Amino acid sequence: MKQFQTSKAIQRLPDQFFATMIDKLNLYKNRGYDTLNLGQGNPDQPTPSHIVQSLQEAAENPDFHKYPPFHGYEFLKEAVAEFYKREYDVDIDPETEVAIMPGSKTGLVELSQCFLDPGDVALVPDPGYPDYWSGIEMVGAEMKSMPLREENGFLPDYSEIDKESWEKAKLMFLNYPNNPTGAMAGEDFFVETIQEAEKNDVCVVHDFAYGAIGFDGNKPLSFMQFEGAKNVGVEVYTMSKTYNMAGWRVAFAVGNPSVIHALEVIQDHYFCSIFGGLQKASATALLSSQQCVTDLAETYEKRRDLLVHGLEEAGYHVAPCQGSFFTWLQVPDGYTSQGFADDLLESTGLFVAPGIGFGTHGEGYVRIGLNNSEETLRDAVKRFKAFKQK
């Protein structure tokens, strides 16, 4: 069969890390291994029933059977603004400071397409979410790694960024609570970020995917809460983690009007917005009782406590997990992250994500998700203990 030559943009794309991981897991499943998937970040709980009911009712509304407005329904943008005012006491203009997106992954890739040209630099956290890289590679821009080290609370040290990189940088990606480390960022860090962005004319993209999942009584901070944030960037929020709506593919960005406008322009060419029923259900989620969100965070915290206690009891070192639904485990001496993940899968059926897949500074760790029941996590702890003792 004839093979057509792909574009240079497609050829530049990195391997899709998560797809490669699942291929490996399925290989072992097909061999008959008793596997436990601790590597993915896929919410395991169902979407709350009142949100599902809202979609069911909206699906019967013939008005939603037509093409939706290109930039999304005003009722959803207004719900986003109300959500930010209620949760973070931040004033958001629904007309100029909200963009509706078909999933946050899409928006994170699009932002690079909107603001980077070949030769420009994007500052990316290392380790970090691999899909930040995709948009950067697609446009032929360059990445400057910002190392996240445990001794610094997995926060970037801006003094390590050289003058040339600051001069060429157009975008900076941040993500707190952090995937994969589980770290949280405080007020001082966000204030410093705004100062650096102002000084160096860099647009900050704060990926707030795990904004609802903080532990030990600490609510994650929104970047938008701090003076000047709106002037230097945007925050990207997804319905996936807060409301267990991963398969629904609804997200939004809030913040700087020029960035919001660019997102809407590029999406005019890619999409005709999102099915109106999904938008209606999303508005219901944002405006209804948030008890389901509180309950979900408590569930993840109980799972974290169970898993971390068990792993530490078995002699493993786990980095402090302050938020998100991931734990960041240091691999035993003598192992690379990939080698440990491979041996663990071969010996015990446990499937974890090697840290090297999240960047060079992810080496020496593996990511373990909290997206399994307490019973499953107890089983996992037993297998980790057995591996340690072999």
CA distance 8 to 118: 12
8 Å CB contact between 308 and 316: no
Residue 147: its H or E element: strand 142-147
Alpha carbon distances (Å) from 194 to 140, 152, 191:
26, 19, 5
Domains along the sequence of the chain with CATH: 8-46+292-389 (3.90.1150.10), 49-287 (3.40.640.10)
> Could you give the angle at which helices 374-389 and 337-348 cross, rounded to 10 degrees?
100
What pTM was estimated for this model as a whole?
0.95
Query: pLDDT by residue for the chain (390 residues), tens digit each?
Result: 988 888 888 888 877 667 777 777 777 778 877 888 998 888 999 999 999 999 999 999 999 999 999 999 999 999 999 999 999 999 999 999 999 999 999 999 999 999 999 999 999 999 999 999 999 999 999 999 999 999 999 999 999 999 999 999 999 999 999 999 999 999 999 999 999 999 999 999 999 999 999 999 999 999 999 999 999 999 999 999 999 999 999 999 999 999 999 999 999 999 888 999 999 999 999 999 999 999 999 999 999 999 999 999 999 999 999 999 999 999 999 999 999 999 999 999 999 999 999 999 999 999 999 999 999 999 999 999 999 877
